[in-house]
């Protein structure tokens, strides 16, 4: 059985079923499969939503059932390159999870 991995992405607008967010979810699933994982859940941050998908994902990672997460790129954390590594370190420190990046650094 393959280990589970969570996905995280930031959606900038409400998308249709086959819109950019859906294509990105498929990309995450394909990447997870290639790397030997099963994509369990994709936490999608939406600007118009008051609940933070990022915090929900952190809580799920803290429960320890899943030890890996994947993002399409570090820009899904923030567009500010100086903060990308800080967020990555925060996730690791808070959850112990390994972060996989589809496009860019691991």
Reported as a single tens digit per residue, the pLDDT across 66-80 is 999 999 999 888 889
| Pairwise CA distance, residues 25 & 51, whole Å | 20
Domain annotation for the chain: domains and CATH numbers: 4-101 (3.40.50.1390)
Task: Please answer whether residues 25 and 11 qualify as being in contact, where contact means their C-beta atoms are separated by less than 8 angstroms.
Answer: no
Q: Is 87 helix (H, G, I), strand (E, B) or coil?
A: helix
CA angle 39, 42, 49 (to 5 degrees): 175
User: What residue has token string 């420190």?
Assistant: 93
| Pairwise CA distance, residues 33 & 10, whole Å | 21
Q: Kindly tell me if the per-residue pLDDT of 55 is higher than 80.
A: yes
Give the per-residue pLDDT at 17: 46
pTM of the model: 0.86
């Amino acid at each position: 059985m393959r280990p589970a991995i969570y996905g995280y992405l930031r959606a900038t607008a409400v998308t249709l079923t086959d819109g950019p967010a859906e294509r990105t979810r498929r990309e995450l699933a394909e990447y997870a499969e290639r790397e030997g994982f099963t994509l369990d859940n994709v936490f999608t941050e939406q600007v118009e939503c008051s609940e933070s998908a990022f915090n929900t994902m952190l809580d799920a990672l803290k429960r320890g059932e899943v030890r890996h997460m994947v993002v399409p790129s570090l820009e899904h954390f923030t567009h500010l390159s100086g903060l990308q590594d800080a967020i990555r370190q925060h996730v690791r420190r808070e959850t112990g999870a390994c972060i996989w990046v589809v496009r860019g650094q691991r």
